[in-house]
Structure 1
Amino acid sequence: MPATRRALAHRIAVGQSEGRTPSLVGAVVRDGRLVWTGSSSMIEGHAPDADTQYRIGSLTKTFVAVLVLRLRDEGLLALGDPLARHLPPSVDVDEAVGALTIGQLLSHTSGLASETPGPWWERTPGELRPEVADLLGPAPVKHRAGSRYHYSNPGFALLGAVVERLRGRPWDDVLRAEVLEPLGMRRTTPLPRAPAAGGFAVHPWADVMRPETVVETGRMAPAGQLWSTAEDLARWAAFLAAGDERVLAPATVEAIRLPAAPPEATDPDGGYGLGLQLWQRDGRSLAGHTGSMPGFLAALWVSVEDGVGALALANCTSGPAVSEIAADLLAITAAAEPGFPTPWRPADALDPAVLDLAGIWHWGTTPFALRLRSGGELRLGPLNGAGRGSQFHVEHGGTWTGREGYFAGETLRAVRREDGSVSHLDLGSFVFTREPYDAAAPLPGGFPGWPDR
């Protein structure tokens, strides 16, 4: 609506002005499609559009993560595999590095160093680090693997090397064929293609600026090399929210958005999945990534619950808080034009044996309600709203698997008597009965039943 468009345009204008960046582009995605783009520039009448390329820095990592998860889904590797199993035989890495797992590298819990040994890889040609082993200095593992979140750029360079080993060709060629082309992202490339924004460094205390030099980062490219546009990244936001069977199944994309690393004490609202940053902001769960390279800043966030994604791109080394700007664009849209829920419709058909499970069940003396959803899913939760509950996904064989909370991954099954009637529900050894402490059902501790009155 006009008021929403103005609020979005105003946020971009304020971000460009207060952030002192030559230009700023923003975009909003709703329900899988681009619904708004806007920009602001230091040159009136020459603002960039949604087809202008910007360097996206560490947003590149989200693409590499998808390539790795494709290999996992094809059975070519497992997240628990040690890195050494999938590196080329010619690559000589420290034994401690080789023992790090693929999943630890994806979630930045490997303990690997944050950066390469000097000089700084973002500002120097990749030719200075011609081999994978050149990305790691002496004693490159800084923390015990799996013990904490510690962001590692070389870790994703190593994952790029794994992709190249298992696919037999450069990682960016694999990316183009397996991800970019299927999603129609033809303006996402390792090197800039016109029209592309130039990157600048803006003096922190004076309104002057100078161009930044663009370098090819070589072996470090999987950590931050890519260039892209607002239009292409809108497609990427839609993919990160819902998946696409041509690239990754929705269930796999859902899994990479789950926390795989705990937040740091200094950033309690943060977190990391498998190649995705997580952010709890104003009661909203966001997944995406930020990025920076000399001359450029980028951020992309999606809120699956709202069905909204947003991004912001700037062409300066520092200044505008693009992460906040992208999150604000998302929040403005979700608040001003909240999405409509899916209309309720009755199930086409329900198995009478499953319908018989609906209603009140008791765990000890605590009443729970079990509700049946169209599509065969169940919802089991305490009637007073406090306590353990979960959504359950239907499985083959007459069982259900928990999708969230305490019961995530646990199996729910109905235990029947010889006559086919339901005796009780078993949920990971928790017994739920129709009556509180039903004496006829197996109960932990063998409760004898209620006294007669």
Structure 2
Amino acid sequence: MNYTRTCWSVGVALLASALLAGGAHFLGDKAFLFAQDKAIAEGDATGSETLHENAVQKLEAAISYEMEQKNLPGLSIALVNRNGVLWSSGFGSKDLKGETPCDSETIYRLGSVSKLFTDLAVMKLADEGKLDIDAPVTDILPSFQPENPTDKPITLRMLMSHRSGIVREPPVGSYYDASEPALEETVASLNETKLVYPPETKTKYSNAGITVVGLALQEVLGKPYPECLRDELLNPLEMNQSGFEVTDSMKPDVAQGRLQTFERIQFPAPTFSLGIDPAGGLRASMVDLAKFVQCILNDGVYHGKRIISAKLLEEMMAEQVDESGEPQQFGIGFDISRLDDNKKVGHAGAVYGFSTQLSALPERGLGVVASCSLDNTNGVVDRLADYALRLVIAAQNGSTLPEYQTTVPVPTERVPDIIGLYQEVDGDGWSRINEIDGKVTVSYGPVHFIVRASADDGNLVVDDVFGFGLPVNFQSHDDLTIGDEKFRRVPDTCPEDAPEKWKDLIGEYGEEHSPVYIREVNGQLHALVEYLFDYPLSELGTDRFTYNEHAMSGGEGVEFVRDSDGKVTAVVSSGVVFPRREVGTEKGETFKITPIRPVEELRVEALQASPPEESGNFRETDLVEVVELDDSVQLDIRYATDNNFMGAVFYKQPRAYMQRPAAEALVRVQKRLKEEGLGLQIFDAYRPWYVTKMFWEATPGKLKDFVANPQYGSRHNRGCAVDLTLVDIASGVEVPMVAGYDEFSSRSYPEYPGGTSRQRWFRDHLRRAMEREGFTVYEFEWWHFDYRDWKKYRIGNQTFEEMTGQ
């Protein structure tokens, strides 16, 4: 499989997003919104008032649909033609609390869209005869000396078209480096690297390469790079609310970005500046960014001022070819593609907390810019941008306005038939279709997509923030086609354990804002980078691997670092060091916190307190001991011992009670599992309310996602929740899971992607077994299951002693 990303990078507490319509505004004659540029209008303006109203309504409806369906916090968009902005608007909120609406003046980090500015500024200097883009870059930067095993020198043209063979990220100042080094220091670190490919032999996307271009620009003009861009482009284009640093005048309009984990949990994005600013550090509003597009649409002229010659701009927008004449989808700076019958040029950008799309149709004289304040959402931003352009084109042509395709969740009755493991028929790829809490996902290439059903015909398609429309078709129960690739179902049996030599390599590396998960998948070591891209690693030797050529860091090496005791401390990719993150606990250890108040003090208070009052109709409490219904269920009641997260005894007796219907359902799960040689082991079931209050009062705030708020009571208090795991019946030993019971870390999430295939398989197998009998898993704990009728029972506070009379 050959799925790759062309955006510059992916960043990859749950924050609610408010869907607030920002202040839409119009520039120009409203009646001729989509036909005011006579040079590009193919139809007349008759009835354009109606076209305008309908088109805007359709676009706003599409954006609102995506904001809600994909939980997008904020988005701004502007449509532009040769005369200026046609229409712009904002949606959602620009602050983390959801209090301040986005509008078209909201400022976003643009990510790789910055490359267009760097490259255009360099081409402007070439236009003025101040540099030669085909001369060796060492003519300008003699100290730039990465190891080049060939005699072909690197040129600015190669760097700007991603044909230099240089590494993707510099060792210092990379996308992952929060130290904010100077541009000179970032480029100097490239001397520690070796070219991945000989110059001009492969197209390899590189942030490092454009950073070198930025330093060359700085050297030629003799002033700091941000000043170069301001003087050469931002000021001439009147982009007064744009720049590489947030000025006082910009601060009120700056959007706060969010990152999203593999499990789709959002959290605030970091704001540090990048050492690779020329490749991704620019900030701008959409109305400012639209001025750049307007210049492109006018062949390099903005408001009568020549910014760059039409000839050089045309050269930038011409698709580069390799030595065999094969198009490479890159011009100089610009991505080159098509939107229906129209040539499309532009660039996408993804940087911590933001996703941006800039697209222009030069022959049509149309463009669009859009940005979202959630990382890794380029797929949906690009789709909305394309839809906006299609609406304009249809209006110009007097054609029927296109509808925006929508989807619905995969019908519940279809899910059991499609989940499973699939092997590629004519290759070594594989795909897994999974479902959790109504969300169906498919692993395809390096990405984990959400699958939904078309609202029109019910066909299954990918519909995700990463992309839309990839068909997921079943020719039969066992035959699956994803796009054009054919797969066949294979038995989804328990995988073999990962090789012992890899087990101490498996873990998390880097920072929370951009981690690398080293994990085992189907007998191969993988690197899951930036919460999104999952790439297999080819083993070269002890602790040494390499990415395949289709990865973002294709062809680059991966090496694990050990300390003097042999413990793995970091992973290094082309000189970029990712320190190992200590997550969770070592195998067999119990996760523990330091209570913020003494347990015995809390016990006295909790026993004297009363549960919250509840009104309504509730079922009669009918708690039964699970082992009385089936004594083959094992017990390991941790809160009857001090082997728990608080290191204190809470129950005087090791008992597991549940409401009778829930207990009977659990026994049915046990019966099915026994046929496979597996069984259940319960850690906790009914929990008196006073214990929940103790947990809450003792747990630090940052960990409270893992304990229930006594103000509302716990599902454990109602007798319909159970914490459990699987055991091997023959040995009586717990089967391996990714995380241990009551581990307060992301490893506890039911969708946590790390660990081994075997650990994840057992975790999913337990979940499916429980779901078949009406239980659902808690979103933060793989071991916690709630029975479907839990809301129908009152909060209980009886102690085990009161229930047993002992």
Tell me, yes or no, whether TM beats 0.5.
Answer: yes
SS in structure 2 opposite 1:37?
strand
CA drift of 1:90 comes to 5.0
CA drift of 1:203 comes to 4.2
- Bigger shift: residues 146-155 or 331-340: 331-340
Counterpart in the other structure of 1:231: 287
Counterpart in the other structure of 1:51: 105
CA drift of 1:119 comes to 7.9
CA drift of 1:47 comes to 2.5
2:80 is equivalent to residue 21 of structure 1: no
Cα distance change on mapping 1:279 and 1:339 into 2, 3 Å? farther
Q: In structure 1, what residue type is equivalent to 2:396?
A: E
2:305 is equivalent to residue 251 of structure 1: no
Cα distance change on mapping 1:269 and 1:279 into 2, 3 Å? farther
1: distance between equivalents of 2:263 and 2:329? Answer: 33
CA drift of 1:101 comes to 1.0
Cα distance change on mapping 1:93 and 1:15 into 2, 3 Å? same
- Bigger shift: residues 90-99 or 300-309: 90-99
8 Å contact kept, 2:172–2:181? no
SS in structure 2 opposite 1:297?
strand
* 1:123-151 deviations in Å (ceiling 9; x for gaps): 52222886244442644311121122111
CA drift of 1:308 comes to 0.9
Cα distance change on mapping 1:133 and 1:50 into 2, 3 Å? closer
Counterpart in the other structure of 1:300: 358
Counterpart in the other structure of 1:199: 257
SS in structure 1 opposite 2:236?
helix
2: distance between equivalents of 1:128 and 1:162? Answer: 14
8 Å contact kept, 1:123–1:294? no
CA drift of 1:311 comes to 1.4
8 Å contact kept, 2:293–2:367? yes
CA drift of 1:318 comes to 2.0
Q: In structure 2, what residue type is equivalent to 1:304?
A: P
1: distance between equivalents of 2:383 and 2:159? Answer: 26
8 Å contact kept, 1:269–1:280? no
Aligned residue runs from structure 1 range 75-224, under 5 A: 75-87=129-141, 89-94=142-147, 99-117=153-171, 120-127=174-181, 131-136=185-190, 138-192=192-246, 193-194=250-251, 195-205=253-263, 208-218=265-275, 220-224=276-280
- Bigger shift: residues 44-53 or 157-166: 44-53
Aligned residue runs from structure 1 range 367-406, under 5 A: none
8 Å contact kept, 1:23–1:39? yes
SS in structure 2 opposite 1:191?
coil
1: distance between equivalents of 2:126 and 2:378? Answer: 37
Cα distance change on mapping 1:213 and 1:298 into 2, 3 Å? same
1: distance between equivalents of 2:323 and 2:179? Answer: 33
8 Å contact kept, 2:203–2:328? no
CA drift of 1:102 comes to 1.2
Which structure has the bigger radius of gyration? 2
2: distance between equivalents of 1:293 and 1:66? Answer: 21
1: distance between equivalents of 2:131 and 2:254? Answer: 37
Q: In structure 2, what residue type is equivalent to 1:214?
A: T
Counterpart in the other structure of 1:330: 389
Counterpart in the other structure of 2:61: 10
CA drift of 1:221 comes to 0.8
2:338 is equivalent to residue 287 of structure 1: no
The partner residue of 2:330 within 259, 265, 272 is 272
Structure possessing the higher relative contact order (Cα contacts under 8 Å, 6 or more residues apart): 1
8 Å contact kept, 2:76–2:88? yes
* 1:407-441 deviations in Å (ceiling 9; x for gaps): xxxxxxxxxxxxxxxxxxxxxxxxxxxxxxxxxxx
1: distance between equivalents of 2:310 and 2:101? Answer: 36
1: distance between equivalents of 2:130 and 2:149? Answer: 23
User: Normalising by the residue count of structure 2, what TM-score does the alignment of the two structures yield?
Assistant: 0.39
SS in structure 2 opposite 1:290?
strand
Return 5+ residue gaps in structure 1 as ranges. 341-453
Aligned Cα root-mean-square deviation (Å)? 2.9
Return 5+ residue gaps in structure 2 as ranges. 1-51, 400-806
Counterpart in the other structure of 2:453: none
User: Normalising by the residue count of structure 1, what TM-score does the alignment of the two structures yield?
Assistant: 0.68
Counterpart in the other structure of 1:396: none
2: distance between equivalents of 1:270 and 1:246? Answer: 29
CA drift of 1:186 comes to 0.6
8 Å contact kept, 1:149–1:261? no
1: distance between equivalents of 2:183 and 2:282? Answer: 19
Cα distance change on mapping 1:38 and 1:308 into 2, 3 Å? same
2: distance between equivalents of 1:209 and 1:184? Answer: 35
Q: In structure 1, what residue type is equivalent to 2:308?
A: L
Cα distance change on mapping 1:123 and 1:11 into 2, 3 Å? farther
Cα distance change on mapping 1:204 and 1:14 into 2, 3 Å? farther
Identity %: 25
2:320 is equivalent to residue 260 of structure 1: yes
Counterpart in the other structure of 1:361: none
2: distance between equivalents of 1:291 and 1:151? Answer: 13
Q: In structure 1, what residue type is equivalent to 2:370?
A: A
